[in-house]
Copies of this chain bind each other. A is one copy, B any other.
Amino acid sequence: MNSQTSVNTSMARRARMLDVIRQQGFVSIPELRDSLEVSESTIRRDLESLEESGEARRTHGGVFYTGSVTTVRQFQRGNPNDGAWDKKRAIALEAAKLVNDHDTVLLDGGSTTYELAKQLVGRPLQIVTNSLPVANLFSASDSVDLVILGGAIHNRTGVTHGPFTDQMLETINVQKAFLSVAGVNEKGFYNSNLLLVETERCMMRSADRTIIVADSTKFGRSSLARMLEWNQVDTLVVDEDLSTLWRDRIDELDTNLILAPLNNSQDTHSNSIS
C-alpha cells in the first residue's frame, strides 16, 4: 500500500533521533545524519530542541543521552495481509486452550499475545498485562478483572516497562504468564529492548507457569538481549511450520512443545487443557 517506515514529521523524527541517542548513549552528528537521512542543520535544530527539554546534552562532536527512560511511538499494528498473521492467530487459538476459566493470566505485549487476548475476551478471567492494546481489549469486558502494570510506555509497542513495572510485578502472582519473543536460538529466548527484557524476567518470576508464544520465523534469530533460558520455560507454542531440526532439539528438553495447526479451518475450539 503505502510507505511503512518513513513518517515525515518533525516530531516523529525527533523521537527516532532520541531512540538512537538512548540506544547508543553517545552519537555524533554525522552518524545521526546518516541514520535519519536528513541534513546536519536539521539535526542541530532538533538537538537544540531536545537539549531544551533536557532529554539530551550536547557536547563538542555529538550528543549524550540524559533523559528519562521513556519515549513513545506506536504506529500501525501490523499489516493485515502479512503472512505471519495467520501463524500468530493459529498460535493464539492453541494458547487460548491452555487457559481455564477463572485463571489468573499475565499477558505480555506483542502481536501474538494480542491475538491471544482477543481469543480470551468474554471469558471469566483475571488478566494482568503491561500492554495498552491488550488492556483496551478487556477494559470493556465485565467478565474479567483487569490489572495494568504501571510504568513508562515504550512507544513502538505500547507496553509499559522499567523499574515501576518490575516493582509492581514483585507483589503479583499469576498462574500462567504468556510471553512473546523477538528471537529464539539454542541458548534461549531474546528480545530487542534491555529494559523490556528485565521486565519480562520479572514476569517469569511472578508466574507459576511461563508459556512462550512465538511463530516459526523467530527461530534461529537472536536479538539484543537474552530474556530467558530454555529451562525457565514450561511450555512453548509455535506454528507447525517449525523445522524438524528445532522440533528434535526441543524434544530433548524439558520444555513442552505445542504445535498450532495452520490449516485455517475453523476448528471448533474445545478449550481447557491444564
Residues of A at the B interface (CB closer than 8 Å) are 1-2, 7-12, 14-15, 23-26, 28, 31, 34-35, 49, 52-54, 59-62, 67-77, 101-102, 122, 124, 126, 132, 135-153, 155, 158, 160, 164-165, 167-168, 171
Q: A11-B143, A25-B74, A102-B52 are in contact. Are A150 and B165 (CB under 8 A)?
A: yes
Chain B residues, Cβ within 8 Å of A12: 26, 142
Cβ of A11 and Cβ of B59 under 8 Å apart?
yes
Which 6 A-B pairs have CB atoms at the shortest separation, nearest pair first?
A150-B150, A9-B61, A15-B142, A70-B145, A146-B153, A11-B142
Cβ of B28 and Cβ of A140 under 8 Å apart?
no
Contacting A28 at CB < 8 Å: which of B9, B35, B61, B142? B9
Considering the chains assembled together, what is the distance between the CA atoms of A14 and B124 in angstroms? 11
Considering the chains assembled together, what is the distance between the CA atoms of A184 and B53 in angstroms? 36
Chain B residues, Cβ within 8 Å of A14: 142-143
Tell me the smallest distance from the CB of A42 to a CB of chain B, in Å: 14
Can you give 27 A-B contacts (C-beta < 8 A)? A1-B35, A2-B34, A2-B35, A9-B26, A10-B60, A14-B143, A15-B142, A24-B75, A26-B75, A49-B124, A52-B102, A68-B126, A68-B145, A71-B140, A71-B142, A72-B136, A72-B139, A72-B141, A132-B135, A132-B136, A136-B136, A146-B153, A148-B148, A148-B150, A148-B160, A150-B151, A150-B168
Sample of 17 more A-B contacts, CB < 8 Å, known A2-B35, A139-B158: A2-B34, A7-B26, A8-B28, A9-B26, A11-B59, A24-B75, A25-B74, A68-B145, A71-B142, A71-B145, A72-B140, A72-B144, A72-B146, A74-B139, A132-B135, A148-B150, A164-B171
